[in-house]
Amino acid sequence: MEVSTSELGEKAATSEELAWRAHISGASEFTGPNAEYCRRHDLDHRIFRAYKKKFGAVKSRVPAPAAFVKLQPLPERVVIPPVARVKELPDPAWTATFIVALMEARR
């Protein structure tokens, strides 16, 4: 990704800015992270990021799409019973008594 002088919005670029533009372009073609590019070229990564931001070459990081999970079908011999439908709720007094009995059984 080449960053042109017109993208900077200035009439003339200094030799330092041209050098940084060349590094930013080189880093965009580099397959590793920017920090590694800077280390290999003896550059200060913080200054590199500042120039990259100044020239508008900063890309927003878009999260990678979630990977699909391969589902395995259940063997045919496994039968899952249908869920029983409840027509009415149990008596509240019975439910309370049942819960108390369960709690006492745990002690």
Residue 55 is predicted with a pLDDT of 82
What's the chain's average pLDDT?
A: 78
Does the pLDDT value for residue 40 go beyond 80?
Answer: yes
What would the mean pLDDT of 32-39 be, rounded to a whole number?
A: 90
C-alpha 89 chain-centroid distance: 45
b/e burial code for range 11-33 (CB count within 10 A of at least 16 → b) = eebeeebeebbebbbebeeeeee
- pLDDT band, very low/low/confident/very high, at 54 (cuts 50, 70, 90): confident
Question: Which structure tokens are listed for 46?
Answer: 């913080």
- pLDDT band, very low/low/confident/very high, at 58 (cuts 50, 70, 90): low
Query: Residues 74-86: pLDDT tens digits?
Result: 777 666 666 666 6
Sign of the CA dihedral with 99 first, then 100, 105, and 107 last = positive
- Check: CB of residue 24 under 8 Å from CB of residue 52: yes
